[in-house]
Chain A
Amino acid sequence: QKEVEQNSGPLSVPEGAIASLNCTYSDRGSQSFFWYRQYSGKSPELIMFIYSNGDKEDGRFTAQLNKASQYVSLLIRDSQPSDSATYLCAAPGNAGNMLTFGGGTRLMVKP
């Protein structure tokens, strides 16, 4: 059974700081990883995906993948209170195109 693990948090950072969210996965064969943001009472929203080792930047967001360590992270620069949400990490699951999600990390950005 493929697993994706995240610290549930909450992770609290001050406004303007860098928030670092981490995720580990069990399947060495996983090739792609996804970060979703989920506001309370809303559905997950895709914000980043990464397929290759290294960094991928999109605005204030940077996804980092280290396949050797089976570790993927999401950095949010200049954190804003509107970034306060649960961040879900996902990887392809056991079969087909389904995704296996971590439990999510709750981020709180304090003004």
Chain B
Amino acid sequence: GAGVSQSPRYKVAKRGQDVALRCDPISGHVSLFWYQQALGQGPEFLTYFQNEAQLDKSGLPSDRFFAERPEGSVSTLKIQRTQQEDSAVYLCASSPGGFGTYEQYFGPGTRLTVT
């Protein structure tokens, strides 16, 4: 079956521009996560949805970052007024169950470069 998909795969933004990153989770997966991965490091948690509810956004680095999942399926991560330090790979992952289910399956990621 289809895995997690993300678009765009690559995004170059000028500093100050707004960007929107899309994630299509595995069909039927309840939980959806966004992570940020800097070069040479492990993924760092940004935010978590269970269906359409955003249950944890403690990892979002600033109020310029916003995520939504309005119908409990596709999710969008938006970054306003991008800064150079936002350059990273943004990974989306989905998980089949709710609380207590931890196996997460990752999409290919969106590589964001802010110039």
Residues of A within 8 A of B (CB): 4, 8, 32, 34, 36, 42-46, 49, 88, 90, 92-104
The verdict on A96 contacting B55 (CB below 8 Å), with A34-B103, A46-B103 known, is: yes
The answer to whether A43 and B42 have CB atoms under 8 Å apart is no
Select which of A32, A49, A95, A104 is within 8 A of B42 by beta carbon.
Answer: A104
Distance A92 CA – B107 CA, assembled complex (angstroms): 19
Indicate if B41 sits at the interface (CB-CB under 8 A).
yes
Distance A92 CA – B109 CA, assembled complex (angstroms): 21
CB-CB under 8 A from A45, the residues of chain B are 106
Distance A93 CA – B91 CA, assembled complex (angstroms): 17
Select which of A43, A92, A100 is within 8 A of B106 by beta carbon.
Answer: A43
Of the A-B pairs whose beta carbons lie under 8 Å apart in the complex, a sample of 27, sorted by A's number, is: A32-B102, A34-B102, A36-B106, A42-B108, A43-B106, A43-B108, A45-B106, A46-B103, A46-B104, A46-B105, A49-B103, A94-B58, A95-B58, A96-B48, A96-B55, A97-B48, A97-B98, A97-B99, A97-B100, A97-B101, A97-B104, A98-B33, A99-B33, A99-B102, A101-B44, A103-B42, A104-B42
10 tightest A-B contacts by CB?
A101-B42, A98-B45, A43-B106, A96-B56, A43-B109, A44-B106, A103-B42, A43-B108, A101-B43, A96-B48
The answer to whether A98 and B56 have CB atoms under 8 Å apart is yes
CB-CB under 8 A from A32, the residues of chain B are 102
